[in-house]
Chains A and B, each alone.
Chain A
Amino acid sequence: MSLLPLAGMFIFGGKKKSGEEKETAVPKSLRDKVITVVMDHGKGLYYLLSRATPEQDVAKIAKILDHNPQIGQPNATQWSEYKKIR
């Protein structure tokens, strides 16, 4: 067996480990909850927002945030930089 794959495993394995060590600085349980807030908002947010408008019309909020019925979430926030948190 060539030593090349072994060397590759060592190099990449070593890099991955340092990344994992960094990740432990923030508990996974906390990160998971942050991800829920950032990635899974939708209808609940619309209702909250609609209560903050004069007409309290949730359909208007869905229009402003460009609700996507297929994913049940607003298109307006789908491609924001802050969603690249996984």
Chain B
Amino acid sequence: MQHNGPNTKKYVNEATPEEKIIAVHYPLLHAFLAVAMAYHTGVHSKRSADAVEGLLNALYTNRRDYAYIKQNYKQLAEALAYQAAKRRITTDPEKTAKVMEKAFEKTFKIIDKLLPEVNERNLEILGRAIHKHTDDPFVVLRNAGIDIEPELEEFRQFLAEISGKKIKSEKQIHVARVPGPSEELARAKLEVLSILHGLEFAGYSDEAKQKAIERLSSRIAEVSAEKLTPENLQRLGLYAFAIEMIKSGNFERLREIEKL
């Protein structure tokens, strides 16, 4: 199968402001497609993101907006497979094209939820949610009345399938709809581990530690207000343990919860 990438104009005029604002959908497309490419190819590095960048550069240089991308995603999935083959991260471009078609569809759902329309309010929320200083995008989204969890769950299932970690359908339904108590605990564990990774990113700075403690304390307050169940008490214990370990700087001990 012969793939041809979109034509790239090498010499173009400076973009007008209208043309510039079409860039707003690109970071999300780039990031979600890069992650899908990484899970599909098994190459969990910038190489997967570079393949997506190759396609997006051609699109942006040609001033293609989000509507165009949505209309032509099947062809674009082929172009993306071509970019992946060029970087030697796939040996089967046809299969990659099929997988990336699905990746486009799932990514569109997420973007449409996060940015249903390009206006100042929506951009303000999205900008804050994905910002480099944001520790918890879900608080930002929840406060704005956006529940992105179903779309993320769908993407999660998709990645599990393409990476060979297929989840049983019975469990799929369970996970997708009604979170059980043990799942809540697992989610709390992931939340604590995410905070730990966040601290790592921030070099365990005092400011980051303070923020982490504040976030955990607010979670304790939230869970304390919920129904008293053994699982909720376990979650509270987990958050309290995390606060104690952060205060004492015992991050290795905190990391042990990964094995639980």
Contact = CB atoms under 8 A, between A and B. Distances in A.
Interface string B107-138: 00010000000111001101111111111111
29 contacts: A25-B17, A25-B18, A30-B118, A30-B119, A30-B120, A31-B17, A33-B120, A36-B131, A37-B123, A37-B127, A40-B132, A44-B132, A44-B140, A47-B136, A47-B138, A51-B138, A54-B165, A58-B198, A59-B200, A60-B44, A61-B35, A62-B201, A63-B44, A63-B45, A64-B34, A76-B30, A80-B26, A82-B26, A85-B20
Nearest to B136: A47
Interface string A54-86: 101111111111110101111111001111110
Contact of B155 (A33, A52, A57): A52
B32 A23 contact: no
Contacts of B128: 44
Contacts of B140: 44
Interface stretch (B55-63, B92-100, B246-254): B55-63
B257 to A, nearest CB: 14
Nearest to B124: A33
Interface of B: 15-18, 20-21, 23-24, 26-28, 30-32, 34-35, 38-39, 44-46, 48-50, 53, 56-57, 60-61, 110, 118-120, 123-124, 126-138, 140, 148-149, 152, 155-156, 159-160, 163, 165, 167, 190, 193-194, 197-198, 200-201, 203
B202 to A, nearest CB: 9
Contacts of A22: 16-17
A76 B28 CA distance: 12
A43 B32 contact: no
Given A34-B118, A43-B133, A80-B26, 14 more contacts: A22-B17, A25-B17, A33-B123, A33-B127, A36-B131, A42-B133, A43-B201, A48-B137, A48-B148, A59-B200, A62-B197, A74-B31, A76-B30, A81-B61
Contact of B197 (A30, A38, A45, A58): A58
Contacts of A43: 131-135, 198, 201
A20 to B, nearest CB: 11
Q: How would you classify the secondary structure of chain B's contact residues: helix, strand, loop or mixed?
A: helix
A2 interface: no
Main secondary structure of the interface of A (DSSP, over half): helix
B186 to A, nearest CB: 9
A41 B203 CA distance: 19
A62 B198 CA distance: 11
Nearest to B200: A59
A42 B131 contact: yes
A64 B163 contact: no
Contacts of A49: 31-32, 35
Contacts of A84: 15
